[in-house]
Structure 1
Amino acid sequence: MGKTGGRVDFEWVYNDQPHTSRRKEILAKYPEIKALMGPDPQLKWVVTAMVLTQLLACYMVQDLPWKWVFFWAYGFGGCINHSLTLAIHDISHNVAFGNKLARLNRWFAMWANLPIGLPYSASFKKYHIDHHRYLGGDGLDVDIPTDVEGWFFCTPLRKVAWLFLQPLFYALRPLVVNPKPISRLEVVNAAVQFAADSIIFYLWGLKPIVYLIAGSILCMGLHPISGHFIAEHYMFLKGHETYSYYGSLNMITFNVGYHMEHHDFPSIPGSRLPQVKKIAAEYYDFLPQHTSWNQVLWDFVFDDCIGPYARIKREYKLVKQE
């Protein structure tokens, strides 16, 4: 468990990300894909049902012993909360109410944020734009680990610790890599979130708050669903920086596994990404893909060639002027 990982730096490339050119090529061949763009009318109802389920769970856990609070946080509530973060990911692309109602999408993301326990949605939106626009961009794409992460978390045991601490790194990394001024929307997001937490605490006590926050942290760390964090962009094969997964866990993660398709067409809701793959099958069927997020986590931990450094990076001349 103490063997040092094989990589000592990121994979630096000097070409543009592949999604832009592939998007143009696919749209030229299959213009009907444009009809898949736009809001998903079912998304708001699915998300609302998930939020209400978690509020009901808050009521039900208030009298449970602490060990069962954490059990249900990991086994049930955290899965819903992780799924809600992926709903927020979809909503950040305005697929709940469309581009013409962009502000309504931001408010709805705050509604989806409530069971997560900590304010998240507004900051995620701010940085996720850069992840698509500057994929792999040095100092721009905060999805990429820092040099310190790559250097230190290089053994199996340390990589397990890194997986467990993923929520912490995702929260703090933007402040180190690409700090941005706090926006008014982030302040509103925090105010709404802490007001909701206060109401839950007043009604049902501390255990529901722990249930929500612990579930979010645990299920975004060392958990099978969290395999998508590694599966999406870590370089399992040299030169390939985005991978799709077409397995059953897409059913509870808003099809985030269709990640090639998502980066090619970020304005298409997750519910319609399987149609993209079906229409343009020859563009996706023969690209490297994952078949199991559990296997992804296993390989990440025990393969010396895979770790926080196993990411493609590039420099963009259009730097942080925005």
Structure 2
Amino acid sequence: MGNRVARDDYEWVYTDQPHADRRKEILAKYPEIKSLMGPDPRLKWIVSSMVLVQFVAFYAVKDLEWKWVLFWTYIFGGCLNHSMTLAIHEISHNTAFGNNKAVWNRWFAIFANLPVGLPYSASFKRYHMDHHRYLGGDGVDVDIPTEFEGWFFCTRLRKLMWIALQPFFYALRPLSINPKTPSRLELTNAAIQLVFDLGLYWLWGIKPVVYMLAGSMLGMGLHPISGHFIAEHYMFLKGHETYSYYGSLNLLTFNVGYHNEHHDFPSIPGCRLPLVKKIASEYYNNLPQYTSWVRVLYDFIMDDELSPYSRVKRKLKGDVKLE
């Protein structure tokens, strides 16, 4: 249980990320893929329904015994809140209202953020665009674990702890790697969320607040859906930095598992990414892929060659224009 992994540094590469070239090649061969770009007209209704369901759940748990509050927090609230964070991921690409109504997307993301409990949608948008533009970029892409994470979480037990604590590392990592001055929208996001959280406590007491916040922490920690954090970019096979997952949990996660397809075409909403794979199947069928996020978590913990260091990292060339 205490065996140390062999890797003691990232996988440094000196090539550009593969997604831009593949996107150009696919579009040249299949120009009809451009028709898949644009907003998903169903997204705003799906997300609004999810928010409403959580509001009903807040009311439903207010008088439950604590053991049942915690049970439903993990089983139901964790799933729904993690799914909501992936809805916010979708919205960050302007897929709710389109690029012509970018501000509408930002405000809708703040609305979707409410049942998650912690204000993050506005900050996520800023950092996620860097992740796409500068994938693996040293000092820019905050999806890459810090050197402390790579150094310390290097045994099976520590990797298990690291996965359980994922939401804390995702929240704190930007402050270490690429701190940004908070924008007005981020401050607004925080203020609205605080008012909502306090209002929820005033209205129905502490149990719905615990259900909300603990659901977000547990749902993004040691939870089957959290396999996507590891599956997307951790280097299980040398030379491959992005991986797709084609299992049933895509139904709960807005097809975030179609991750090669998403990085190739970030302006195509998740509901249409399976069509990208179908049209350009020869580009994706032979890439490494997963069918189980639970198996990804198990393999990551048990394989002593894998650790938070198992990421492709690159020095950025020339001027990097950050928001």
Comparing 62-71 with 28-37, which one deviates more in the overlay?
62-71
Question: Which residue does 1:9 correspond to in 2?
Answer: 9
What amino acid sits opposite 2:106 in the alignment? R
What amino acid sits opposite 2:265 in the alignment? F
Question: Which residue does 1:74 correspond to in 2?
Answer: 74
Residue 186 of structure 1 deviates from its aligned partner by 0.4
CA contact (8 A) 1:140 1:319 kept: no
Q: What is the TM-score of this pair, normalised by structure 2?
A: 0.99
Question: Which residue does 1:319 correspond to in 2?
Answer: 320
Distance 1:208 1:320 in 2: 42
Distance 1:66 1:75 in 2: 14
SS at match of 2:145: coil
CA contact (8 A) 2:86 2:256 kept: yes
Q: Deviations over 1:171-228 (max 9, x none)?
A: 0000000000000000110111111112211110111011000000001000000000
CA contact (8 A) 1:233 1:311 kept: yes
Question: Which residue does 1:264 correspond to in 2?
Answer: 264
CA contact (8 A) 1:140 1:320 kept: no
Question: Which residue does 2:192 correspond to in 1?
Answer: 192
Q: RMSD across aligned C-alpha pairs, in angstroms?
A: 0.8
Distance 1:215 1:241 in 2: 30
Distance 1:120 1:80 in 2: 16
Q: How many residues align?
A: 322
Question: Which residue does 2:173 correspond to in 1?
Answer: 173
SS at match of 1:16: coil
Distance 2:65 2:6 in 1: 45
Question: Which residue does 2:217 correspond to in 1?
Answer: 217
What amino acid sits opposite 1:266 in the alignment? P
Distance 1:306 1:89 in 2: 26
Structure 1 residues not aligned, in runs of 5+: none
CA contact (8 A) 2:5 2:304 kept: yes
Distance 1:11 1:320 in 2: 24
Q: Deviations over 1:283-319 (max 9, x none)?
A: 0000111121011000110101111000000011233
Question: Which residue does 1:119 correspond to in 2?
Answer: 119
CA contact (8 A) 2:7 2:305 kept: yes
1:23 aligns with 2:23: yes
Q: Deviations over 1:225-274 (max 9, x none)?
A: 00000000000000100000011000000000000000000000000000
Q: What is the TM-score of this pair, normalised by structure 1?
A: 0.99
What amino acid sits opposite 1:106 in the alignment? R
Question: Which residue does 1:109 correspond to in 2?
Answer: 109
Question: Which residue does 1:287 correspond to in 2?
Answer: 287
Question: Which residue does 1:88 correspond to in 2?
Answer: 88
SS at match of 1:101: helix
Structure 2 residues not aligned, in runs of 5+: none
What amino acid sits opposite 1:319 in the alignment? V
What amino acid sits opposite 2:202 in the alignment? Y
Distance 1:156 1:73 in 2: 27
Q: 1:321 to 1:113 in 2, by over 3 A?
A: closer
Distance 2:37 2:46 in 1: 19
Distance 1:68 1:120 in 2: 28
SS at match of 1:208: helix
Residue 149 of structure 1 deviates from its aligned partner by 0.4
Which aligned pairs between 1:13-52 and structure 2 lie closer than 5 A? 13-52=13-52
Question: Which residue does 1:162 correspond to in 2?
Answer: 162
Q: Deviations over 1:68-119 (max 9, x none)?
A: 1111110001100000000000100000000010000000001110110110
Question: Which residue does 1:252 correspond to in 2?
Answer: 252
